[in-house]
């Protein structure tokens, strides 16, 4: 005579098993999603190439995709020459831009999440800093370029400070909004179960705010890529922004397109990594794992 629940068929699935099955489903769907995502860009490139081949678009004003690919190949695989920044320097410029984005975004993420939680949960912090935060947020981040160059010079730190400062505000604002919307039922339940009031912020508010944290981080990461291009154009040497500005100065539209596409692809990859990481943190949300 067997007891109810003694068979493995009746054993509850563990959270690890659920997360694993979710990632398996996501992995199975990934090729199809990638193919659908590349469909529209491929059609745009085909139409663009056809318009250039038929003479609808003059090559002197807009280079063809084949010309863009050829210049990009030289930029990536060409021999490194002292006076030719567009030959063999793509990998170095990508590393420079990526390093600045990661450093500035890491500072903005740590400061923005921590300050946003305090701003959204504690009324005293909100009353003291809300006006100042909205005043600074209203100033375009690019307006701080002369300020950072004046204090840090044409140096790496100028770009990192500008990225961190600009990405801080969307992260902090999203986190603060999420903290303010924490369900009061969760707070009351935690207090009834013995959670000390001083630990509510980390045990209740932060987990409830995680979806808003991820949204703020994605917005801040996108802005970080905008600001690294601006800073490399005006405040530091090297990087994809430097290449973009240098190509403009010598009227190389094909290299301008190469730099723009490089920035877009890197930004997309960084966003994918962030979304994949959020799937591990928010695996209780089926929308992020099972889609």
196 pLDDT higher than 90: no
pLDDT value of residue 288? 42
147 phi-psi bin (left φ>0, alpha ψ -120 to 50, beta other) = alpha
137 pLDDT higher than 50: yes
Task: Give the mean pLDDT of 252-267.
Answer: 93
Percent residues over pLDDT 70 in the chain? 86
The CA dihedral of 154, 155, 156, 160, to the nearest 10 degrees, is -70
pLDDT value of residue 28? 59
- In this structure, is residue 261 part of a structural domain? yes
Q: Which domain holds residue 121?
A: 86-289
- In this structure, is residue 214 part of a structural domain? yes
d(CA 219, CA 213): 10
- In this structure, is residue 36 part of a structural domain? no
Provide the H-helix boundaries in the chain.
15-53, 65-77, 90-121, 123-137, 145-152, 156-180, 184-192, 200, 206-234, 240-249, 253-281, 286-289
Q: What CA–CA distances, in Å, run from 246 to 6, 156, 258?
A: 71, 18, 12
What CATH number does residue 96 fall under?
A: 1.10.3720.10
pLDDT tens digit string along 91-112? 999 999 999 999 999 999 999 9
- Burial class of residue 223 (count of CB atoms within 10 Å of its CB; 0-12, 13-18, 19+): buried
> Which of 150, 147, 142 shows the shortest CA–CA distance to 228?
142
Q: Is 84 helix (H, G, I), strand (E, B) or coil?
A: strand
- In this structure, is residue 157 part of a structural domain? yes
pTM, full prediction: 0.81
For 81, which DSSP code? B
- In this structure, is residue 71 part of a structural domain? no
pLDDT tens digit string along 154-176? 788 889 999 999 999 999 999 99
Contact between 97 and 213 (Cβ < 8 Å): no
- In this structure, is residue 233 part of a structural domain? yes
Task: Give the mean pLDDT of 281-290.
Answer: 56
pLDDT value of residue 9? 42
Task: Give the mean pLDDT of 259-283.
Answer: 88
- In this structure, is residue 274 part of a structural domain? yes
The count of structural domains within the chain is: 1
Query: How many CA atoms are closer than 13 Å to the CA of 73, on its beta-carbon side?
Result: 6
pLDDT tens digit string along 30-69? 677 777 777 888 888 888 888 888 878 776 778 888 889 9
- A 10 A CB-CB count for 194 gives 6
């Amino acid at each position: 005579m067997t007891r109810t629940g003694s068979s493995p068929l009746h054993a509850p699935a563990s959270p690890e098993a659920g997360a694993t099955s979710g990632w398996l489903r996501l992995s199975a769907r990934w090729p199809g999603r990638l193919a659908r995502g590349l469909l529209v860009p491929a059609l745009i490139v085909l139409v663009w190439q056809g318009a250039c081949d038929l003479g609808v678009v003059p090559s002197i004003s807009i280079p063809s995709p084949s010309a863009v690919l050829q210049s990009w190949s030289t930029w990536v695989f060409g021999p490194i020459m002292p006076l030719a920044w567009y030959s063999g320097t793509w990998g170095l410029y990508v590393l420079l831009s990526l390093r600045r984005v990661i450093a500035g975004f890491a500072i903005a993420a740590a400061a923005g999440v921590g300050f946003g939680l305090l701003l959204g949960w504690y009324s005293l912090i909100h009353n003291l800093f809300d006006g100042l935060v909205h005043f600074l947020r209203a100033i375009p981040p690019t307006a701080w370029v002369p300020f950072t160059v004046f204090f840090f010079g044409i140096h790496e730190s100028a770009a990192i400070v500008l990225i961190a400062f600009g990405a801080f505000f969307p992260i902090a604002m999203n986190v603060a909004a999420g903290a303010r919307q924490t369900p009061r039922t969760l707070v009351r339940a935690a207090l009834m179960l013995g959670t000390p009031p001083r630990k509510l912020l980390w045990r209740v508010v932060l987990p409830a705010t995680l979806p808003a944290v991820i949204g703020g981080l994605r917005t801040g990461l996108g802005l970080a890529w905008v600001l690294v291009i601006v800073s490399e154009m005006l405040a530091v040497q090297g990087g994809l922004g430097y290449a973009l500005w240098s190509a403009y100065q010598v009227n190389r539209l094909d290299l301008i397109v190469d730099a723009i596409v490089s920035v877009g692809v890197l930004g997309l990859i960084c966003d994918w990594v962030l979304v994949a990481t959020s799937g591990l943190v928010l695996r209780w949300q089926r929308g992020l794992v099972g889609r």
